[in-house]
Structure 1
Amino acid sequence: MGHGGDVIAELTTDHEEVELLFTRLEELPPGDPRRKLYADQATIELVRHAVAEEAYLYPAVRTHVPGGDALADRELEDHASAERTMKDLERCEANDPEFDRLISRLMTEIRTHVADEEGNLFPRLRESCSAEILNELGNKVRQAKKTAPTRPHPSAPDKPPANKLLAPGIGTVDRMRDALSGRGKDS
């Protein structure tokens, strides 16, 4: 959940953890029920990560990075597309023919998004911000992930202040649903 370090280190570690879940999922044969478990775990991590980015990273990009508005808008579009895919995936079991199509789409969307963030956005943010700002953002992102939703909510707001106000309440409901259903837990 929280890894430490500045915002770039925190989010890069999240990217690596999701990639590991994708790799584990890809190693399993189609229809294996563990594919659904890994897809749910990836969704939980991706939603928490996206909510934290939307609350703190993208506003900082808008403020500090030249051309940051366009950059942040593009990243938000990526998030919206991935969130719609995750919402569709949520309805599928591992043996559903749609599952393989949707998980492949999600992995492509996320891998493309990660490559853009790590290759373009993060270097530009590092150039534009002091170490103090990056560390402060890292702390804010870690805090946001603790209360963030764990399920996709495509119609929820993705920009401050509405997202910061609603995310903790939605997150509480999601975590209660996850606890009751066992979603996201290793069986």
Structure 2
Amino acid sequence: MYRLATHTGLRQVPRSIANNAVRPAAMATTPRFFQPVDMRTIMSSSSGVKVSDRIKHDHAELEQQYKNIISAKDEDTKVRWQNQFIWELARHSIAEEIVVYPAFEKFVPNGKQMADKDRAEHQTVKNLLYEFQKMTPSNADFRPTLDKLWAALSKHIKEEEGEDLPALEQHIDANYSGKLASSFSTTKHFVPTQSHPSAPDKPPYETAAGMLATPLDKLMDMFKKFPKEDMKA
């Protein structure tokens, strides 16, 4: 049984009714990640994986999604990959700011300057992503904005993978790197899925702002189209 909030208080309703009440038909178009979150699965999934590997995996997926947008043969497919790209980049960026950049500051010599540089680069990406997420493929600025966004993001990725992440791994042990990887993966499940460039970019204020924005973002995601499973193979 579930407890259902009403204007007169709480009352119990059958599980089947409660499940149907929160599953609109549009859920069929949302990413597979919109499933109940099992924290034990999340924590164990990153076990033995370095945080730099987890971040590089995201970078590779973002690059592929960018290429998929460009190569899409029809507008529907292009929109699906656009939504996936936005969804992944927004979550990735915020999770880095909450989990990884504070680790730069704590463990890496000159880590604060490194983290501040990365936050500034993120702000540029967030501003461009905010413009891109409002566009449709028929917009004349769609491709130029996407290319400008990817140019800024790929430069950031190159610096992060070539300089920042190796410096972090050099100053932490494998066990702690694995804990950061777990925290990074977990955090991605609870942060906004759209760009909010005016939001704070440092915890705890970023965390608080994210808790306010996340429910609305996820509600909007329920009515968007995302790539089908056979498109991701």
Is 1:184 the equivalent of 2:226?
A: yes
Conservation of the 8 A alpha-carbon contact between 1:33 and 1:95: no
Amino acid at match of 2:224: G
Quick one: which amino acid aligns to residue 83 of structure 1? K
1:131 aligns to what?
174
Partner of 2:196: 153
Which residue number corresponds to residue 28 of structure 1?
72
Tell whether the 8 Å contact from 1:33 to 1:94 is kept in structure 2 after alignment. no
Question: 1:36: Cα distance to partner?
Answer: 2.7
AA paired with 2:71? E
The question of 1:73 aligning with 2:122 is answered no
TM-score normalised by the chain length of structure 2: 0.74
81, 103, 107: which one aligns with 1:60: 103
How many residue pairs match? The answer is 185
Structure 1 position 133, deviation (Å): 1.6
Shift of 1:26: 2.3
Q: 1:18 aligns with which of 52, 62, 78?
A: 62
- In structure 1, distance between residues paired with 2:83 and 2:152: 16
Partner of 1:141: 184
Instruction: State the distance in 2 between where 1:46 and 1:10 align.
Output: 14
Q: Distance in 1 between matches of 2:216 and 2:147?
A: 28
Q: How far apart, in 1, do the equivalents of 2:169 and 2:66 lie?
A: 28
Unmatched segments (≥5 aa) in structure 2: 1-32, 34-41
Richer in strand (by share) = 2
Q: Which amino acid aligns with 1:157?
A: P
Find the aligned partners of 2:150 and 2:61 in 1 and give their Cα distance.
Answer: 13
Q: Secondary structure at the match of 1:97?
A: coil
In the TM superposition, what is the alpha-carbon distance from 1:142 to its structure 2 partner?
Answer: 0.9
Instruction: State the TM-score, normalized to the length of structure 1.
Output: 0.92
Cα-Cα RMSD:
1.8
State the distance in 1 between where 2:99 and 2:152 align: 22
* Alignment counterpart, residue 152 of structure 2, candidates 79, 87, 109: 109
The counterpart of 2:211, out of the listed 168, 180, 187, is 168
Structure 1 residue ranges without an equivalent (≥5): none
Specify whether residues 122 and 106 from structure 1 end up closer, same or farther in structure 2 by C-alpha distance, changes over 3 A only: same
Report how far residue 183 of structure 1 moved: 4.2
Which is richer in helix?
1
Among 31, 51, 56, the alignment partner of 1:7 is 51
Q: State the 1:164 CA deviation.
A: 1.8
Rg larger in structure: 2
Deviations 1:19-62 (A, max 9, x none): 11112122236x74422321221111011001100001000001
